[in-house]
Amino acid sequence: MELEETREAELRELVERLERLIPKDGAHLTIPADADGNASVGSRLGYLRFGVEFLAAALDPRPGSDEAPTRITPDIGYLLTDGSETPFDLCEIDEAIGSRPPVRSRLGPLGQLVAAVLVVSALILIFIGGSVVLKRLLG
């Protein structure tokens, strides 16, 4: 979604003001590598800086190409404590996302891998069984 020039200019001014008002010193954030059941932990300044960095990144998205979609790259590396792993390395912009239902698998990565192995194994067994039946029928 494109913003009017005046509105975008106002937002940029607000972000610049927030940049000045919220210091980086003392801003810390821990984002767990596995978000299932684990809370992120941070100082109040850390969460405030987190928001400022996302606002700034959203105002200056990286243009898309044939190889990559339009995306934002928030600069939050300085906020993260040791052991943090951020899922925000690449944030794609998709203006049509609100009109689509969310896509989510409840299996998780390991469950998806096990399901894929089971499907492939079943297909192999079906193929072998079919070839044995054909061999017996055709002699």
Q: What stretch of H or E contains 113?
A: helix 108-138
Same domain as 122, residue 73: no
Same domain as 74, residue 45: yes
Nearest to 70 by CA among 50, 94, 101: 94
Other Cβ atoms within 10 Å of 41 Cβ, number: 14
Same domain as 56, residue 93: yes
**Residue 12, pLDDT score:** 93
Number of domains in the chain: 2
List of residues 6+ apart from 27 with CB closer than 8 A: 42, 43, 45, 46, 48, 49, 78, 79
Q: What's the pTM?
A: 0.64
Distance CA 139, CA 129 (A): 15
Same domain as 136, residue 111: yes
Amino acid at 127: F
Nearest to 97 by CA among 66, 67, 132, 70: 70
* Cα 41-46-51 angle, rounded to 5 deg: 110
Amino acid at 37: G
Domain that holds residue 69: 5-99
Same domain as 131, residue 79: no
Same domain as 44, residue 66: yes
Same domain as 87, residue 56: yes
82 pLDDT more than 60: yes
Same domain as 132, residue 70: no
Q: What is the pLDDT of residues 5-64, one digit of tens each?
A: 899 899 999 999 999 999 999 999 988 866 666 778 899 999 999 999 999 999 998 888
Same domain as 71, residue 27: yes
Same domain as 90, residue 113: no
Q: What is the pLDDT of residues 89-110, one digit of tens each?
A: 678 787 777 777 766 656 677 7
